[in-house]
Structure 1
Amino acid sequence: MKIEKELLEDHQIRLHVEFEVEPFEKAKHLAARKIAKKVKVPGFRPGKAPYNVIVRQVGEAAVVEEAMDGFIDEVYPQMLKEAEIRPYGPGSLEKVIGLEPPIFDFLVPLEPQVELGDYKALEIAYETPEIGEDEVDEQIEELRQQQAVTETSTEPATEGNRVFYSVSANRAEVEEGQETEIFPVRFNSLIIEAEGENQNQWPFPGFSANLKGMSIEEEKDIIYTYPEDHEDENLQSVEAIFHATVTNIQKVSLPEIDDEFAKTASDFDTLEELIADIKENLGKQKQNEYDSDYNDLVLNTLVEESTVKFPPQMLEDEKKDMLSNLEYRLSQQGINFDLYLQIRNMTKEDLEAEVAPLAEERVKRGLVLAEVAKAENLQIDPQQLAAEAGRTMEIVTRGMSPKDTKEFQKSDYLSSLVNSIMADMMTRKSMNYLRAVAKGDPLPEEETEESDTAEAQETPEAEATPEETLAPQTPEEVPTLEAEETPEEETSASVEESAEAETESE
């Protein structure tokens, strides 16, 4: 066969291939035999009509069409071998140029390629986070609010009151192509706080100040202009009119901060013990958050310094995986996928467009980490793999009958599950290695099972934005893709959830 190659910008290759006539003629004769078994030909038993009779009966085009699949299946592997191509996945027949001789154009996605930046020269400052007294005070205040005694008030709302209200928002000025409504009527409650202490309120910082002095059933229009750097690009610099209605007002009596409060609000006998516990938990939380952000910074830095090429099919596969995981997590919370789209006020196409940059980031990060593992010849301890697989299997088969468990253990999916776990463990090893290099720490020895699991909480995948909870905590927190699933390598938890989704679909 004669092959001409054309490398495309999207990391695919077009192969212009001229095949020998004889193999294609053989494929046509085999196709004619198959057709002869299906078609009644006068004067011949099924499958016994000669080739030229079949051609006259059904037409040469039908024979060629039948022959194509078998012919391509036979010659395709040899074609890739002669072209010295390592494909990412199945190629496609792009065009039939001619049949005498057979000349076809194929489009083949290429295996991804990564040219790593100088990862051994990574150097990023690492600063252990500190706990501020204001953070401790905030935790204490939350506990006080939980222990608060409330009673309905008929007086106008004042500082310290909890106000229940409904609110909707519209644009003050509507340009062509824009919708007037920013969000429909929603219900919420908040404490009217002192000025300067209300920056985390919804629907915008300092909102409670506008409710001060309002009475039950009183309505009010509030004008607010979103900042230029607002996280939602559609709302940046937008002037909005909020229509608020107070539905209830409660006086809030807060307990004194003393040992008695500590006993009521916790399992501790003294305020000193409670504060010590809060500091410890805050320390762990901030450390985990900082480590996750640090790992993100390290990996993103290396990705930016590396050259990563992959075909569009790989990106599409990643998008499908992310949307499939999202749909599964929604089902776990009893939310229909179509309902989710309605809540987000978007179409499936909108969601696919939203997930595209996240999927691209995941692909790049995953490929870079895999290349680091390859470059450093990182290995997975078989005993650790067996232990991790055993834990995952226990979770996946929980609730299954003994018969179903045995069938699952024999299924092809089990090997796929183990491969996913192994890839996840390798990802963590790669991230641990890069982290040590960037911090200037000694390079990690072979991790123990416990340390591997602990580090999983610090790898970028553990940030799990599109894979965490989708339940809104405040009215404005309608789930977004970023709030459920993150781009990069999978954690053990995500492997387990994917396994559960797969077994449920079966």
Structure 2
Amino acid sequence: MLNIQTERLENHTARFTVEVESSRLDNAKQVAARRLSKQVNIPGFRKGKAPYRVLVNYLGEGAILEDAIEVLGNEVYKESLDQSEVEPYGPGALENFEIEPTPKFTFIVPLQPTVDLANYRSVRLEYDPPKVEDEDVNRALRMLQEQHAVIEESQKPVAVGNRVTIDIHSFIVDAEQPESEEHEEFIHQHDMMVMLSDDPKREFAPGFNQALEGAAVGDSREFELTYPDDEEEYGEMAGQRVKFEVMVKKIETMTLPALNDDFAARVTEGEEQPLTLLELRIRVRENLQNAAESRYKSEYAMKALDSMVEQAIIGFPEALVEDQTERMVQQFDSNLRQQGLTLEDYLKISGKTRQEIAAEYREPAIRVIRRSLVLRSVSDAEQVNISEERINTQIETILSQFGERSDNFRPLFDQPAMRDSVRDDLLEQQVIERIIAIAKGEAPEPVSAAEPEASKEATEEGESS
């Protein structure tokens, strides 16, 4: 048994102070010496055959001791974890080593995250999904007309109602930021198609149409626009000022088809029974309503989850933040590559370092961590389960999308890793549904672990219906 002192630190790590017998260090030094002797050429001796004292004189006691500490430290660290029953999040680090009076290792160990959900079932939020209005239906039908419009290239100056192809480069303007510093990039895209709609809700940016009106092909325009201070309408762009640099590459006119029964029949001609305009309007309204309710449900679930996060007591090590931040930076790099850039390109353009980019993702990473930890804890507390039958049903649904080729993909879903992935997706959906039910005050009581499996599956099916 090791002599271990465990100290819990405020940053969700633990400090192990471990004393070992001097004989273990002596043995480790002998092992280190034999290993090092095979790596060096000592005059008068074959590799691996030089005596210990000769090695000490040739390499120095410090080199042998350093190697011995590494070898013995790995052994002691593993034994310390087993004996202390501490659950580490990731690899520990050697903080200090003392050789006198007895060999003593000090390790810092990142701990597994912990969550106290507190009274999470007390969260209540009003559930009031939006209603689709006539103007929403009209807007959707107008977009359908545009998809079937006659498009002709024009040499006339830009006017509202045109479709334009542009190169756009834009930055968010921060009044407090020195002019010498690079501003945060907003949109950077070449050959971007933009519809200059007369519907304010569909305008690319408030005032964008007016700023571009009158421009000819080949013209460049520079202008600044301020988004209205309406967070509900414009989200994180509310109140932001943006500088645009736009070059017009093509101007096109659009002649819309008449909105009548013939148009409705044309856009649904592939169906068993083409629709009339009235039937098309009804379908468009239903689709919009379903989409609006789905978006609202997702936003509602996130608000409910955030309310649970607020009252929860959550602990996690800095190592978890670093890992999540790195994943987000890598995702940013992946997104850039889809636009033909790399992270290295972006760093050169923006003048930022990789460390600065990582620092920008730190707070978002912490939000992701807190949400995911609470989500997992709610799943455990609510005894949410996914049956094998449910996984099989979901796999069949996925395979059906491949049509006649479904059998080619079936072996992929027989692999345990893929089944686990399907299970995880279903579990997350189920937990989200439970969080919504809790916030609405409609959640059933958690199923006790002692209750029969049939009761668990009944609860699961009840929620998914």
Change (3 A) 1:76 1:388: farther
Q: Within 2, Cα distance between the matches of 1:329 and 1:165?
A: 21
Paired residues of 1:341 and 1:347 also in contact (CA < 8 A): no
Partner SS state of residue 261, structure 1: helix
Partner SS state of residue 117, structure 1: coil
Change (3 A) 1:41 1:249: closer
Larger deviation, residues 60-69 vs 316-325: 316-325
Which residue number in structure 2 is paired with residue 337 of structure 1?
342
Which residue number in structure 1 is paired with residue 23 of structure 2?
22
Change (3 A) 1:279 1:236: closer
Matched residue type, 1:88: Y
Q: Superposition pairs for residues 280-295 of structure 1, below 5 Å?
A: 280-295=286-301
Q: Within 2, Cα distance between the matches of 1:184 and 1:310?
A: 37
Change (3 A) 1:342 1:141: farther
Change (3 A) 1:68 1:161: closer
Counterpart pick for 1:178 among 176, 181, 185: 181
Partner SS state of residue 298, structure 1: helix
Q: Superposition pairs for residues 356-505 of structure 1, below 5 Å?
A: 356-385=362-391, 419-443=420-444, 446=456
Deviations 1:342-382 (A, max 9, x none): 69846533442333223222221221122223333434424
Which residue number in structure 2 is paired with residue 315 of structure 1?
321
Task: Could you tell me which runs of 5 or more consecutive residues in structure 1 were left unpaired when the two chains were aligned.
Answer: 456-506
Counterpart pick for 1:353 among 339, 353, 359: 359
**Displacement after TM superposition at 1:297 (Å):** 1.3
Change (3 A) 1:47 1:391: farther
Task: Could you tell me which runs of 5 or more consecutive residues in structure 2 were left unpaired when the two chains were aligned.
Answer: 446-454
Alignment of 1:133 with 2:139, yes or no, is: no
Counterpart pick for 1:278 among 284, 309, 312: 284
Alignment of 1:207 with 2:208, yes or no, is: yes
Which residue number in structure 2 is paired with residue 492 of structure 1?
none
- Give me the TM-score of the superposition, normalised by structure 2: 0.76
Deviations 1:108-145 (A, max 9, x none): 10121111121222222222432211111011000111
Matched residue type, 2:381: A
Alignment of 1:263 with 2:268, yes or no, is: no
Matched residue type, 2:118: G
Deviations 1:196-216 (A, max 9, x none): x324423x3132234445666
Deviations 1:52-104 (A, max 9, x none): 44433433222222222321222223323444522212111012233552122
Partner SS state of residue 85, structure 1: coil
Q: Within 1, Cα distance between the matches of 2:183 and 2:329?
A: 30
TM-align CA RMSD: 4.4
Partner SS state of residue 89, structure 1: coil
Q: Within 2, Cα distance between the matches of 1:273 and 1:290?
A: 26
Q: Within 2, Cα distance between the matches of 1:126 and 1:280?
A: 20
Matched residue type, 1:376: E
Change (3 A) 1:451 1:211: farther
Partner SS state of residue 124, structure 2: coil
Matched residue type, 1:74: E
- Give me the TM-score of the superposition, normalised by structure 1: 0.71
Paired residues of 2:169 and 2:246 also in contact (CA < 8 A): yes
Matched residue type, 2:102: P
Change (3 A) 1:49 1:387: farther
Change (3 A) 1:443 1:152: same
Q: Within 2, Cα distance between the matches of 1:172 and 1:367?
A: 34
Partner SS state of residue 200, structure 2: coil
Larger deviation, residues 96-105 vs 273-282: 96-105
**Displacement after TM superposition at 1:259 (Å):** 0.4
Which residue number in structure 1 is paired with residue 449 of structure 2?
none
Which residue number in structure 1 is paired with residue 102 of structure 2?
101
Q: Within 1, Cα distance between the matches of 2:188 and 2:96?
A: 52
Change (3 A) 1:167 1:287: closer
Partner SS state of residue 96, structure 2: strand
**Displacement after TM superposition at 1:303 (Å):** 0.7
Change (3 A) 1:38 1:353: closer
Which residue number in structure 1 is paired with residue 73 of structure 2?
72
Which residue number in structure 2 is paired with residue 502 of structure 1?
none
Change (3 A) 1:440 1:73: same
Which residue number in structure 2 is paired with residue 496 of structure 1?
none
Partner SS state of residue 282, structure 1: helix
Q: Within 2, Cα distance between the matches of 1:166 and 1:329?
A: 19
Q: Within 2, Cα distance between the matches of 1:451 and 1:335?
A: 45
Paired residues of 2:309 and 2:371 also in contact (CA < 8 A): yes
Paired residues of 1:303 and 1:364 also in contact (CA < 8 A): yes
Paired residues of 2:230 and 2:238 also in contact (CA < 8 A): no
Paired residues of 1:157 and 1:212 also in contact (CA < 8 A): yes
Deviations 1:475-495 (A, max 9, x none): xxxxxxxxxxxxxxxxxxxxx
Partner SS state of residue 99, structure 2: strand
Which residue number in structure 2 is paired with residue 90 of structure 1?
91
Which residue number in structure 1 is paired with residue 122 of structure 2?
121
**Displacement after TM superposition at 1:441 (Å):** 2.4
Larger deviation, residues 255-264 vs 81-90: 81-90
Paired residues of 1:116 and 1:307 also in contact (CA < 8 A): yes
Q: Within 2, Cα distance between the matches of 1:304 and 1:417?
A: 34
